[in-house]
């Protein structure tokens, strides 16, 4: 039995010191390291070296981390110096292999002066790793208030159950460090933010290729939150920060509560940066919460010029006023203009109350040219909304009016009451790699005009992201279904019915170009909607490293009709690219519409669900 204490750092330091001395010796003519690097690019190496192994990963690992390759640039190296370097390299190789769990490797070094154009020939290392060491036992010792708390056994069992190196697992130094970090992360996430690993040992039985692990964890005191220390709240006040944070004094500490408070503050739009943390000084059992803010400007203009894949160049303008004088509501005005679609909107949003519900009102006016027909619409809305990190809720009253140039009925109007609910469980936003999102809209109203026809409208949607493996990317599956239940929908505005097609539904088709066939090439909105999409997203690697790009292969389908049996699916398929830009995901897709036998380019920015 012996203690395993890997020393690759000290071996590398020794070899580096030898290289430093060699580089600055008289024989090297006081060449600097940069001189050596430049010289190695123009002069032949002193020797070449190769590694062969029964484990390809180990071969690549040694080639990457061995210091021997650094000395190839010393053109005046002789056999005696090379022999001394190989002795040190053998020690380093064994230390490196030990960090990977191989304690009984067989190493064979050979020097063949007849191979290659180099003065000292070729140095070859043959490695037989032998069986990897496995974990034979994991011993835990717990200290601190965790041992006395009623929830202590549950939390201990949870940490031990999720331990990354259980008995039978292969041992590596990296996995050993990662397992301790993950265990500590689990501990400090709930009740014990000052917890720490006080001692840890990996006892190696090299003869039997076994490792015994022991970990001692001190939880420290159980922590409850103290008062809020808010800095940077000048324009919008500390009361709004307290309502958005929702951190009550004396509540038990949970790291997720602080993260959610930080996210709520950021998503509110009033703050450019937010940092929420515990105060590490003073009473550790009742720690104050520090909330550091950088407030957004009271007013902000955003101007943009872009291209819509459906209608060409597009101009956008947005103005935000975070606190209207006298009302203290936030106002957001938007304008977007292109060849086929012009949109103007205004939204007023009240500060949140103690439950994060906010009053809001909005108005939106659209004018769209589609198939040589002009559709004008307005939507007016008033209600309340609650936006959270994972769940959004809203209820509102809505008035819709729409007119179509080719429709002899003129303006079509409706009023309705609506509920909306969205649930998100993604690993990270705005660049998720796994997770699930669900959404539901439900409304009931009546058409206005000569006849009052009641109706019910519902729309359900979902998005699921399934990882396929470390280098295989993920599968994105998206679907939506909806219908309008009414005896007669002819007097309903098109904004209360369904159309599909475009960047975020059925690619390959123009925006809202899939609907009910009205004849003469015209398309109208329908009462039933069904869409689906399957997409394989795969990361792009360059020289073995992940880049900010991904490739995508997809197939989309969608249908709109006034009768269920008339839902005829429109298909499309294609390929695309994704870029993790500073402003969010940028999607570029080339899709082929099967019914039209045409290709269409789609560009969009952002992840929304």
For residue 268, the domain's CATH number is 3.10.20.310
Residues 159 and 118 in one domain: no
Beta bridge mates, 145 = none
Residues 278 and 363 in one domain: no
**pLDDT for residue 254:** 93
Highest mean pLDDT among 372-381, 504-513, 531-540: 531-540
Q: Positive or negative CA dihedral for 503, 504, 507, 509? A: negative
Using pLDDT thresholds of 50, 70 and 90, give the confidence band for residue 38. Answer: very low
Domain end marker among 202, 218, 234 = 218
pLDDT at 83 over 50: yes
**pLDDT for residue 309:** 63
Please report the DSSP string for 423-464 in residue order. EEEESSSSS-SSEEEEEEEEEEEEE-SSS--EEEEEEEEEEE
**pLDDT for residue 369:** 84
Using pLDDT thresholds of 50, 70 and 90, give the confidence band for residue 23. Answer: very low
Average pLDDT of span 339-356: 90
What is the tens place of the pLDDT at every residue in 504-525?
899 999 888 999 988 877 888 9
Residues 160 and 106 in one domain: no
Instruction: Provide φ and ψ at 73, rounded to 5°.
Output: -75, -10
Per the structure, the complete domain to which residue 262 belongs is given by: 224-295
What is the tens place of the pLDDT at every residue in 289-312?
999 999 988 898 989 887 766 667
Residues 185 and 285 in one domain: no
pLDDT at 36 over 90: no
Q: Could you tell me which residue, 405 or 301, shows the higher pLDDT? A: 301
**pLDDT for residue 288:** 94
Residues 18 and 121 in one domain: yes
**pLDDT for residue 542:** 86
pLDDT at 345 over 90: yes
For residue 574, the domain's CATH number is 2.40.160.50
Q: Please state the domain count of the chain.
A: 5
Beta bridge mates, 447 = 414
* CA 40/CA 231 separation, integer angstroms: 56
Q: Could you tell me which residue, 317 or 119, shows the higher pLDDT? A: 317
- What lies within 8 Å, CB to CB, of 60 at 6+ separation is none
Closest CA to 464 of 372, 370, 532, 539: 532
pLDDT at 51 over 60: yes
Please report the DSSP string for 519-535 in residue order. ETTEEE-BSEEEEEEEE
Q: Are 211 and 205 in contact (CB under 8 A)?
A: yes
What is the tens place of the pLDDT at every residue in 233-275?
998 889 999 989 989 999 999 998 998 899 889 878 889 899 9
**pLDDT for residue 235:** 87
Domain end marker among 201, 218, 235 = 218
pLDDT at 532 over 90: yes
Residues 123 and 181 in one domain: no
Residues 398 and 418 in one domain: yes
pLDDT over 70, % of the chain: 89
* CA 274/CA 253 separation, integer angstroms: 19
**pLDDT for residue 407:** 66
pLDDT at 69 over 80: no
Q: Are 509 and 371 in contact (CB under 8 A)?
A: no
Q: Are 528 and 561 in contact (CB under 8 A)?
A: yes
Residues 328 and 449 in one domain: no
Residues 387 and 494 in one domain: yes
Using pLDDT thresholds of 50, 70 and 90, give the confidence band for residue 313. Answer: confident
Average pLDDT of span 410-433: 91
Mean confidence (pLDDT) of the chain: 86
pLDDT at 1 over 70: no
Q: Could you tell me which residue, 407 or 314, shows the higher pLDDT? A: 314
Is the pTM for the entire model greater than 0.75? no
Closest CA to 240 of 295, 284, 280: 295
Chain centre distance of CA 164 = 23
Using pLDDT thresholds of 50, 70 and 90, give the confidence band for residue 18. Answer: very low
> Strand pairing of 122-128 and 48-53?
parallel
Residues 402 and 339 in one domain: no
Least confident of 19-28, 224-233, 306-315, 413-422: 19-28
Angle at 464 between CA 458 and CA 468, to 5 degrees: 165
pLDDT at 35 over 60: no
Residues 16 and 146 in one domain: no
Question: Which contiguous run of DSSP H or E holds residue 136?
Answer: strand 134-143
Highest mean pLDDT among 118-127, 189-198, 301-310, 319-328: 189-198
pLDDT at 351 over 50: yes
* CA 89/CA 120 separation, integer angstroms: 16
pLDDT at 210 over 80: yes
Residues 291 and 389 in one domain: no
What letter would DSSP give residue 509?
S
Beta bridge mates, 574 = 554, 591
pLDDT over 90, % of the chain: 57
- What lies within 8 Å, CB to CB, of 272 at 6+ separation is 294, 295, 296
Domain end marker among 69, 93, 128 = 128
Using pLDDT thresholds of 50, 70 and 90, give the confidence band for residue 28. Answer: very low
Q: Could you tell me which residue, 501 or 389, shows the higher pLDDT? A: 501
Chain centre distance of CA 505 = 22
């Amino acid at each position: 039995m012996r203690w395993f204490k890997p020393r690759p750092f000290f071996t590398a330091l020794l070899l580096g010191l030898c290289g430093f001395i060699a580089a600055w010796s008289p024989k090297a003519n006081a060449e600097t390291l940069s001189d050596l690097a430049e010289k190695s690019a123009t002069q032949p190496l002193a020797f070449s070296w190769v590694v062969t192994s029964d484990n390809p990963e180990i071969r690549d690992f040694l080639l990457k981390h061995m210091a021997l390759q650094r000395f190839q640039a010393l053109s005046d190296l002789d056999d005696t110096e090379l022999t001394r370097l190989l002795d040190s390299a053998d020690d380093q190789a064994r230390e490196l292999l030990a960090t990977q769990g191989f304690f009984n490797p067989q190493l064979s070094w050979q020097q063949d002066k007849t191979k290659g154009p180099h003065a000292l020939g070729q140095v070859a290392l043959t490695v037989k790793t032998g069986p990897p060491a496995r974990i034979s036992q994991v011993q835990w010792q717990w200290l601190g208030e965790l041992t006395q708390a009623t929830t202590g056994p549950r939390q201990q069992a949870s940490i031990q159950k999720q331990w990354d190196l259980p008995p039978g697992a292969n041992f590596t130094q990296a996995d050993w460090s990662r397992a301790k970090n993950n265990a500590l992360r689990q501990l400090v996430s709930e009740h014990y933010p000052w917890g720490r690993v006080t001692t840890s040992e990996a006892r190696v039985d090299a003869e039997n290729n076994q490792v015994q692990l022991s970990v001692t964890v001190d939880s420290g005191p159980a922590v409850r939150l103290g008062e809020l220390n808010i800095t940077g709240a000048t324009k919008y006040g500390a009361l709004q920060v307290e309502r958005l944070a929702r951190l009550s004094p004396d509540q038990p500490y949970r790291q997720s509560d602080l993260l959610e408070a930080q996210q709520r503050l950021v998503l509110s739009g009033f703050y450019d940066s937010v940092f929420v943390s515990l105060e590490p000084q003073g009473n550790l059992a009742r720690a104050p919460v520090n909330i550091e803010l950088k407030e957004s400007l009271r007013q902000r203009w955003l101007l943009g010029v872009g291209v819509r894949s459906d209608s060409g160049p597009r101009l956008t303008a947005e103005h935000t006023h975070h606190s209207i004088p006298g009302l203290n509501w936030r106002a957001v005005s938007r304008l977007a203009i292109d060849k086929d679609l012009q949109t103007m909107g205004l939204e007023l949003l009240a500060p949140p109350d103690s439950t994060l519900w906010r009053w809001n009102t909005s108005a939106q006016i659209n004018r769209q040219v589609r198939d040589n027909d002009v559709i004008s619409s307005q939507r007016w809305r008033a209600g309340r909304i609650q936006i959270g990190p994972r769940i959004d809720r809203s209820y509102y009253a809505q008035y819709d009016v729409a007119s179509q140039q080719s429709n002899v009925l003129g303006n079509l109007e409706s009023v309705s009451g609506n509920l909306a609910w969205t649930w998100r469980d993604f690993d990270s936003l705005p660049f998720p790699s796994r997770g699930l999102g669900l959404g539901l809209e439900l409304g009931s109203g009546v058409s206005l005009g000569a006849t009052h026809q009641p109706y019910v409208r519902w729309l359900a949607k979902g998005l699921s992201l399934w990882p396929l493996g470390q280098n295989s990317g993920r599968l994105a599956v998206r679907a939506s279904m909806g219908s309008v239940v009414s005896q007669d929908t002819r007097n309903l505005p098109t904004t209360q019915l369904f159309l599909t097609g475009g960047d975020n539904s059925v690619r390959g088709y123009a925006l809202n170009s899939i609907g009910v066939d009205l004849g003469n090439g015209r398309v109208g909105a329908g009462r039933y909607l069904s869409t689906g999409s399957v997409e394989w997203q795969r990361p792009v690697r360059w020289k073995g490293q992940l880049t900010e790009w991904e490739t995508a292969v997809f197939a989309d389908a969608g249908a709109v009709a006034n009768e269920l049996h008339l839902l005829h699916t429109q298909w499309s398929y294609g390929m695309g690219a994704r870029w993790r830009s500073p402003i969010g995901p940028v999607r570029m897709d080339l899709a082929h519409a099967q019914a039209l036998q045409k290709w269409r380019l789609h560009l969009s920015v952002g992840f929304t669900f």
